[in-house]
Structure 1
Amino acid sequence: MPRVLLLPPASSLRAALAPLAQHDIELAAAAEPGTCQLVLADLAGQPAAALGTLGAPQGLPVLVVSSAPPAPAHGCWVVGWLPADAAPAELCGAVRAAVGACAARGDDDPALLLQQAASVAQKKDEFISHIAHDLKNPMASIKGYADLMRRRSAKLEEDPNRKGLEIISTQVSRMTMLLDQLLDFSRISLDRMILDSRPIDLVALAQRLVEDLQATSKRHTLQLVAPPHPVVVLADETRIRHLLDALLQNAMQFSPQQGTIVISVASDGGAAVVRVVDRGIGIPPADLPHIFEPFYRASNVEESRPGAGVGLFVAQHVAQRHQGQIMVESVVGEGSTFTVCLPLAPEGDVAS
């Protein structure tokens, strides 16, 4: 009789899985070597990253039930995912299908299967990296020609194409930034992110970012609050710009039209502090612990809204690689505040 290990053993899913007995599938509370064919991991109400803490036996396939797709966990071979609100019939059907698929594999070595799954995941990440990198080349050509035509247009008194060329140039820059974000997501998965750190002035960086975004958005007002002196950190300028861009883009996407979004830069003790404040839809309390997980979208976000749920994940990882962090406070219907803390550069370091 096939056996399924339910983790945690006290999971509330046990009652919903009772019909499995009719199909000769036994639910186990503990795994003895060689006695279970599948692990059913109940992560409802827990961060998706908690998968690695459940103690699933290495090499066993895992079917996950959670509010969002699980994050990769070392030693865990995830073969499927179901949302936490899945109906009992759907849950039982998925378990039966997973058990059947495992049985069809016969006596394959679980360690070998885990190694093969990890290899496939690595090849997928490498494929994404190559595609994103290759797409940047034509983007660079488009921007180059658009900027050349803009310069020619500027010599004319009136050119009806001038505004269109400015939009093309700005949007290509935006597309390139999104490709860089995709590349960084891949590099994080492959543990290949390398920082090019040097002194940068966060005040000047925030000013340029606000000017660029305001030029392409008439729906919102972006306001910068900053001291008259530089706030210098030792960081990778491109990645910090992407981090701040992700926070500002989120604020604009989830704020009402004509709303004001404030980005402030300050120093506090030995830290540089950047805050992005909006008056948008806010984030439900139950979603706040998971908001930096990969592929996670808050429960009050409409399916039609664009976004894959990787921007905040990459942003938090970048902050942590700089020995910093991002924190969030939010009230539904009132807005959100994202706070970025980064170590200040040593005295004497001057931004270029």
Structure 2
Amino acid sequence: MRWSSLANRAWPLGAIITRTLTAKLPGPNADSSACKLAADQNVYLSAGFGYELNCAPSVGTLSAFMIFVDFPDQGADESTPEVLHDFFLPSAADWYDGASYGALGLSVTADTSRFYRMPSTAASYNWERGLTAEQHQHYIQDALAAPTFMGDVTTRDGTYVARKSVTFGYDGYRTWGSLVLNHETGHTMCLPDYYPFNGSATGLFIGGWDLMGLISGPSPDYFAWDKWRLGWLSDDQVDCVAEAGQTAHVLSPLEAPGGKKAVVVKHNDTSVLVAELRSPIGVDSASCATGILLYTVSTTIATGEGPVRVLDATPGSGGCAGDELDDATLTVDGVSSYTHAEWHVKIAVVGRVGEDYEIRVTVA
């Protein structure tokens, strides 16, 4: 026990020395506003700032109303909707409270009196990935509830019902768990899908690193880039690198409040490279790998086509939790640097201080 204690004390000392050596390097070389890429309004659910599609509030209280439906050919299996309600809530609300550092509260009022019978069979709605807006609208008007449909919802007589709406089927209850509600609610705040729409593997672009990709992934916390866009991170929690040179930065775990959360390296007016520290705490408690996660963001790539792409620091490793990208991180005692050759950017881990990581960014 004494030897273990001494060993634990020796490591922070080494890390502090590393910080002292690299402290001579400058910090961010641009105001954070230089890295706030504007959304492309012609790109559906563009991953930039200021996307305009009547997005639901992401700070304060997001209020919602929930009803439950079944179909003539698929009656409800549960005796009461309360079983489903309790399955999703308060878990989904608690997730947002943790992921947003308390900035967003999800308040859901539900009609648990019964299942409302839809007028047509489940099969008639052609409910599958890639549903058209018209098919969505038809379902909405029939249910007076909402699928993941990015438009205002009204009854047939024109009465306003909701700004945005989401829906999920029995697969959420059977497969995805309560996080399906958070995924779909993310769309109401104008977050894109990070899984591919072309039928490729769900983790093709980002592995299991964000809830807007693989819902059941081991590290579901939203990317720091999106937390910044949603207003959950302040400008002073993001370092912006927009010029050539070498800079040093200290990042704290994304999953915990406070501290610096991201280094954003601006490539041009439509794309950036982001570095953030992921740890097995909070909403990422099931993570199978930790360290500095790197990814690119493009504001010109639409939802489902890969607007965010994780950069794999350990290609060919086989990954963990079933996906090659799930162990893509840089670590202190493993793969410690990554070079994006095309963009002439190198990210290197140079030390660890407690739970924080120090990284060095070199832009040629």
Q: Bin the TM-score by the shorter chain.
A: under 0.3
Structure with more helix by fraction? 1
| Structure number with bigger Rg | 1
State the TM-score, normalizing by the size of structure 1. Answer: 0.26
Question: Which one has more relative contact order, counting CA pairs under 8 Å at least 6 apart?
Answer: 2
State the TM-score, normalizing by the size of structure 2. Answer: 0.25
